[in-house]
Structure 1
Amino acid sequence: MEEYIQEVSENLHDYLMPTVGDMPSIEVILIEDPEPFGPYGAKGIGEHALIPTAPAILGGIKHATGVAIHHLPATPDRVFSEIQQGKK
């Protein structure tokens, strides 16, 4: 078993969170590579975070209610209707 060594901060109360002043300087190197299929050569990068959102919400609804929703949007009326159909 590892030997216990007292750390500088043993709890979150005493721990000082790093700030922008603690960051090292960063040199940004921009390499322009236009996308031939994007508007004006632009590439979309923000949409990738939206891919797992709907399945995560539908999974949460199924976990909470026991009813699987197969069509979007999962409106309250649609969820309630599916729950009522599941009780029959």
Structure 2
Amino acid sequence: MATEPTSTARPVLGATRARQGRFGRHVFWVLLISTVLAALALFGAWTWRSGDLASTEPNNARQPADAKAFDAPAPAPPTQNGGR
């Protein structure tokens, strides 16, 4: 005849408590290191593209060439009675 233990030596935790992570220094270090790495990646991307970001003319003076691609007729001149 087998005996069944009626008490357990381990504490019984609920499902929600068992799924939660522990708070502590390791969580702090993970958050700190990941934030620093994200900031370094952002700074690296900014310095890599800083020449393009400093440009004052986004189209590089290609507006006439771009306008010719549409080949649209000139707009009609305005009328004296306000277009009625």
Whether TM exceeds 0.5 here: the answer is no
Hey, which of these two has a bigger chunk of helix by percent? Answer: 2
TM-score (norm 1): 0.24
For CA contacts below 8 A with separation 6 or more, give which structure has more relative contact order.
1
